[in-house]
A and B are shown apart, each in its own frame.
Chain A
Amino acid sequence: NAGVTQTPKFQVLKTGQSMTLQCAQDMNHNSMYWYRQDPGMGLRLIYYSASEGTTDKGEVPNGYNVSRLNKREFSLRLESAAPSQTSVYFCASTSGGLAGDYEQYFGPGTRLTVT
């Protein structure tokens, strides 16, 4: 049981390049999330998917797109990377409150630098 996995672990992009961050969970969770973490700003929600087939914007969606490929996988795409997108990106999942479980399970993160 791997939990939440993310690829890649590290990435350096030039301004204007595109890339997709991959996330997968093996806990049969309904809801999945993408956050970015910046110093002094905590975890900010980029996009979320409450269930398979649905996606919604979070607090900071500009410059990003997402795809909920199936129940297991939720990807984050940067179409044209900008230096302001230099950050650590975390994917998370939750059962969605089943049996009173509201815990968010986080992946190990992707450290992205845009030059």
Chain B
Amino acid sequence: QQQVKQSPQSLIVQKGGISIINCAYENTAFDYFPWYQQFPGKGPALLIAIRPDVSEKKEGRFTISFNKSAKQFSLHIMDSQPGDSATYFCAALISGGYQKVTFGTGTKLQVIP
């Protein structure tokens, strides 16, 4: 059962452009939504995270937008750079008790010069 749906599967963006990755979830008990970044040959690493009581969180060029009523959230990468080329995973978890994370299927981003 895919509880977090992620799109697109792959994305090509020109340097300086905006990269947008979307996710939708089903379980309304989720209350913590992280994004992970994975470079080839490496393990994923936390990029940015948001709680549903906030509609937007920005860290540098990375912004999460959150729409609680639509059960959707998205990652925006402003001024995309070739160094941002990686696979991005959205995720969701219930923060109380044991935090089992449900991951999206990933988006492979390529930023071309």
Interface of A toward B, CB cutoff 8 Å: 4, 31, 40-45, 48, 50, 58, 90, 92, 94, 96-97, 102-104, 106-109
> What total of chain B residues lie within 8 Å of the partner, measured CB to CB?
24
Interface of B toward A, CB cutoff 8 Å: 6, 9, 32, 34, 36, 41-46, 49, 89, 93, 95-96, 98-101, 103-106
Which of A42, A48, A58, A92 has the most C-beta atoms of chain B within 10 angstroms of its own C-beta?
A42
A-B contact count (CB 8 A): 55
Q: Which applies to chain B's interface (DSSP): helix, strand, loop or mixed?
A: loop
Q: Is the CB of A41 within 8 A of B105?
A: yes
Q: Is the CB of B99 within 8 A of A102?
A: yes
Cα–Cα, bound, A79→B53 (Å):
45
Chain B, Cβ-Cβ closest to A106:
B43
Q: Is the CB of A31 within 8 A of B43?
A: no
Evaluate whether A102 and B32 lie within 8 angstroms (CB atoms) in the complex, with A42-B89, A109-B43 already known: yes
**Chain A residues whose C-beta falls within 8 Å of the C-beta of B95 in the assembled complex:** 97, 102
**Chain A residues whose C-beta falls within 8 Å of the C-beta of B43 in the assembled complex:** 4, 90, 92, 106-109
Cα–Cα, bound, A52→B34 (Å):
25
Evaluate whether A43 and B99 lie within 8 angstroms (CB atoms) in the complex, with A102-B34, A102-B93, A103-B34 already known: no
